[in-house]
Amino acid sequence: MATSEAEAFDRCVGVGGVALFPGDTVYGLACDPDNRFAVQRLYLLKRRPLEKPSAVMFFDLELAFATLPELGERTRATMRALLPGAVTLLVPNPAGRFPLACGEDRSTLGVRVPRLPLLAGASWPVLQSSANRAGGPDPRRIEEVPELIRAASDLVIDGGELPGTPSTVIDLRRHEDTGEWRIVREGAVGEEELGRTLGWQFHFDPATYEAEIRAEVPMFDRLQAELVLASDSGARRILELGTGTGETARRLLAQHPQALLTGIDVSEPMLAAAREALPAERVSLRAQRLQDELPAGPFDLVASALCIHHLDAGEKADLFERVHRVLAPGGRFAIADVVVPADADDAVTALTAGYDKPSPVADQLEWLVQAGFDARVTWEHGDLAVIAAQRFPPLVSSPAT
């Protein structure tokens, strides 16, 4: 049921008024996003140029989805993970919806769905912006809203003192295709928390990756060399999981000189660096998560260095089954990664909570066997391990005698 504030808010916006309201972050101004006069008045009150965009705020996520049917599945899933919450999400707007809120770029829409019990039940989306003069401080208390704005608003709702930090603005415009998300303006929700929710797709910076990984994993080169050994020789079709900047791919291509390699990684910036470093005629790279459907194959070799530990236990077991399906009979799966060591004192690699999720070698061997592999450890050092797993050749049925 709508609160009396929500009813008054709906009425004000519905008749073309401008409402001053307590948001989940700072005080805001709201009006009907499709009413040109109301929008012009709101912008004028703020002294905000009309070319600048404002977010459209929904008070119900399902209404946002119904109003924006063009949003893709992955983007919706991410929105469900983040909303309601103190974030503004920039999403693609191919249909040019809410043109008055879009400023000069009608292909992008800013979406807000706040956690706001005071306005629970408010029915319609509103165009909203913080209740300050353009460039002025964000008002945390109603008294901090400039006098003129307070006096000119058609409805004023005082919600007491608010947190005072504006929403974090996140660019999801390429998210559907690549999983990418980028913080455009820091705000109420920190990067750490977003990373936990969104899977840290952009944890690594290609420019600093090599120096960082060598500092974190001093045996980096040995680990790569052991993976190459475990990959055997003579593969012609390789799938690499977590290509990053191409360090592992480069070594695999040298070991398997006849091979073409398909590499997947969630991070488009890391893959852009790999594209520069690897021979284009032998390599095809795709931005995708390991958790999503793998390229079809069949592959002779699936290899991965320092990536699978980003999956939790269930995701690893599921991945191993899917790898088995894309391998040709007799094909090989080689993994080099950080693991949970038998002796806790060997856990020396720095891990980031929520992003690094290593598992014990014994568990991984068990999941590999369950998936149909013959698996063994080929190298171990502290909390690093290399596993070689062979897909059993198909049973050859003997001709009837």
Ligand X SMILES: C[S@@+](CC[C@H](N)C(=O)[O-])C[C@H]1O[C@@H](n2cnc3c(N)ncnc32)[C@H](O)[C@@H]1O
* Closest separation in Å from C-beta 211 to ligand X: 12
Distance CA 42, CA 38 (A): 6
Residue 331 CB partners (closer than 8 Å, separation 6+): 298, 299, 300, 301, 302, 390, 391
Q: Please say which residue, 352 or 370, places its beta carbon nearer to ligand X.
A: 352
* Closest separation in Å from C-beta 18 to ligand X: 45
Q: Please say which residue, 39 or 319, places its beta carbon nearer to ligand X.
A: 319
The candidate with the shortest Cα–Cα distance to 124, out of 19, 48, 199, is: 19
Q: Tell me the β-bridge partners of 284.
A: 262
Q: Please say which residue, 162 or 387, places its beta carbon nearer to ligand X.
A: 387
Q: Please say which residue, 63 or 213, places its beta carbon nearer to ligand X.
A: 213
* Closest separation in Å from C-beta 312 to ligand X: 10
Which whole-number Å values give the CA distances from 282 to 30, 227, 259, 261, in the listed order?
55, 20, 7, 6
* Closest separation in Å from C-beta 9 to ligand X: 41
Q: Please say which residue, 93 or 248, places its beta carbon nearer to ligand X.
A: 248
Helix (H) / strand (E) containing 91: strand 87-92
CB 150 within 8 A of CB 156: yes
Distance CA 247, CA 264 (A): 13
* Closest separation in Å from C-beta 126 to ligand X: 37
* Closest separation in Å from C-beta 336 to ligand X: 8
Q: What is the DSSP letter of 344?
A: G
Q: Please say which residue, 9 or 320, places its beta carbon nearer to ligand X.
A: 320
CB closest to ligand X, residue no: 244
Q: Please say which residue, 75 or 167, places its beta carbon nearer to ligand X.
A: 75
* Closest separation in Å from C-beta 310 to ligand X: 4
Percent of the chain as helix, strand, coil, to the nearest 5: 35, 25, 45
* Residue in the block written with tokens 């948001």: 23
Residue 261 CB partners (closer than 8 Å, separation 6+): 238, 239, 240, 249, 252, 253, 278, 282, 283, 284
User: For every residue of 28-70, which 3-state class applies, written as one string?
Assistant: EEEECCCCHHHHHHHHHHHCCCCCCCCEEECCCHHHHHHHCCC
* Closest separation in Å from C-beta 244 to ligand X: 3
φ/ψ of 194, rounded to 5, equals: -65, -40
* Closest separation in Å from C-beta 269 to ligand X: 9
CB 199 within 8 A of CB 266: yes
Q: Please say which residue, 31 or 266, places its beta carbon nearer to ligand X.
A: 266
Distance CA 142, CA 281 (A): 62
* Contact footprint for ligand X (CB under 6 A): 204, 213, 242, 244, 247-248, 265-267, 270, 289-291, 305-307, 310
Q: Please say which residue, 10 or 265, places its beta carbon nearer to ligand X.
A: 265
Q: Tell me the β-bridge partners of 260.
A: 237
